[in-house]
Homo-oligomer: A and B are copies of this chain.
């Protein structure tokens, strides 16, 4: 890379303007964005993205599930492009940055290269993946999952939202059922910039998170059957209180995650007493458990530790418990070469950085199963995401986009 490229920086004001320009599509009174996938608001932002890409000289193609690929040619047209991007759909009460930052920063990368008159050896491809959020249609990360072959297209097209509208009908309704077969647009690598959606970078005062892994996830549905009885007339030693048993399980989940610190988290997010009453001992509770780690051996240990804890608590408390694993995703180990390129970029640009694990799922986790992939994180305020209050600073977003720029250049190489 020559001197001019090593000093290259994206246009911070233009990136910031793009983020705020698109935030009006589905913008909420509280400053957030409600832009569920394949709705009219999603069509608006897709149209904006297509026009802006074409204005930047990119060739936009849409696949059969609506994922958008905006191609910038390289000198060597035989090479598959380096993919950069994210998604433009949001949660029902989402923010302005989740997904949007990664997609518009990728657009800003090619705009910056255009301004500097830089040609790359390999092409670049800015991608907007369909339905990352999964709020309207399951599964989440639909476009990227289908891209790597996890589902058939016929299956995905038939999935319906709460109103009974299928993915296929929704694509047709907004004119984004494309002609490119899913998976046809090859990519040699993929790099995604995203807000952290957690508090670590902010807490440690780091600007850049070089994401070397994504947590695996274990999702369970559990049930406790104790015995519902009178809160006044049932002595403490004769109780079979389902809520007391649940409380021990909740604390066991926390203890198990801490036992495998720092590379594990565990959460009971839902707990519902069957017939709650202030003067009745709870007899039955349904609950969920979410366990995550980026380490395969720890994943195994978390599962075993949880099952052992439930058995011990159920026996000692004289209650029945059941536990069903309803979903499992293995840990993601991002590509070491791209991770190294991200570190180099952060060093070149002089940003403080740390390696980090993604706690949330991303399209990149799907893509990494087939394509060398990695991610870069920037801090978000208070770690808040999936919330209209989601916020990130212009300086941090700019830093992330600069790391994306220099990593893309390192992968695609400047034409000499």
Binding site for B on A (CB under 8 A): 196-200, 203, 215, 217, 219, 229-236, 238, 241, 243-244, 246-248, 250-251, 254, 257-258, 261-262, 264-273, 276-282, 288, 290, 292, 358-361, 383-386
A253's closest neighbor in chain B, by CB?
Answer: B244
A387's closest neighbor in chain B, by CB?
Answer: B228
Contact A361 B276 (CB under 8 A): no
A260's closest neighbor in chain B, by CB?
Answer: B236
List of B residues within 8 angstroms of A257 by Cβ: 236
A288's closest neighbor in chain B, by CB?
Answer: B278
List of B residues within 8 angstroms of A383 by Cβ: 229-230, 233-234, 238
Contact A217 B229 (CB under 8 A): no
Contact A276 B271 (CB under 8 A): yes
A243 to chain B, nearest CB (A): 6
Contact A203 B238 (CB under 8 A): yes
Contact B278 A233 (CB under 8 A): no
List of B residues within 8 angstroms of A270 by Cβ: 273, 276-278
Contact B258 A269 (CB under 8 A): no
A266 to chain B, nearest CB (A): 8
A227's closest neighbor in chain B, by CB?
Answer: B382
A to B CB contacts below 8 Å, 14 in the list: A199-B234, A199-B238, A230-B360, A231-B269, A231-B292, A233-B358, A233-B360, A247-B251, A267-B281, A269-B276, A269-B277, A269-B281, A270-B278, A278-B288
List of B residues within 8 angstroms of A233 by Cβ: 196-199, 358-360, 383, 385
Distance of A319 Cα from B43 Cα, bound (Å):
42
Contact B236 A215 (CB under 8 A): no
List of B residues within 8 angstroms of A265 by Cβ: 231-232, 234-236
Distance of A360 Cα from B279 Cα, bound (Å):
9
Contact of A262 (CB < 8 Å), options: B203, B234, B235, B268: B235
Contact A254 B244 (CB under 8 A): yes
Contact B230 A385 (CB under 8 A): yes
A316 to chain B, nearest CB (A): 13
| Known A203-B238, A244-B250, A248-B251; contact A231-B276, beta-carbon cutoff 8 A | no
A350 to chain B, nearest CB (A): 26
A295 to chain B, nearest CB (A): 14
A116 to chain B, nearest CB (A): 35
**Which one of A232, A250, A280, A358 has the greatest number of beta carbons of chain B within 10 Å?**
A232
List of B residues within 8 angstroms of A244 by Cβ: 250-251, 254
Distance of A197 Cα from B267 Cα, bound (Å):
37
A234's closest neighbor in chain B, by CB?
Answer: B198
A236 to chain B, nearest CB (A): 5
Contact B229 A241 (CB under 8 A): no
List of B residues within 8 angstroms of A262 by Cβ: 235-236
List of B residues within 8 angstroms of A384 by Cβ: 229
Contact B271 A273 (CB under 8 A): yes
List of B residues within 8 angstroms of A246 by Cβ: 247, 250
Contact A243 B231 (CB under 8 A): no
A276's closest neighbor in chain B, by CB?
Answer: B270
**Which one of A197, A200, A233, A257 has the greatest number of beta carbons of chain B within 10 Å?**
A233
A67 to chain B, nearest CB (A): 24
Contact B267 A279 (CB under 8 A): yes
Contact of A267 (CB < 8 Å), options: B231, B251, B360: B231
Apart from A198-B235, A243-B271, 13 more pairs, CB < 8 Å: A197-B232, A198-B229, A198-B233, A232-B265, A232-B360, A232-B361, A236-B266, A241-B267, A247-B248, A267-B281, A269-B276, A271-B271, A271-B276
Distance of A277 Cα from B383 Cα, bound (Å):
18
List of B residues within 8 angstroms of A250 by Cβ: 243-244, 246-247
List of B residues within 8 angstroms of A277 by Cβ: 269-270
Distance of A250 Cα from B276 Cα, bound (Å):
14
Distance of A104 Cα from B232 Cα, bound (Å):
25
Contact A232 B292 (CB under 8 A): yes
Contact A261 B236 (CB under 8 A): yes
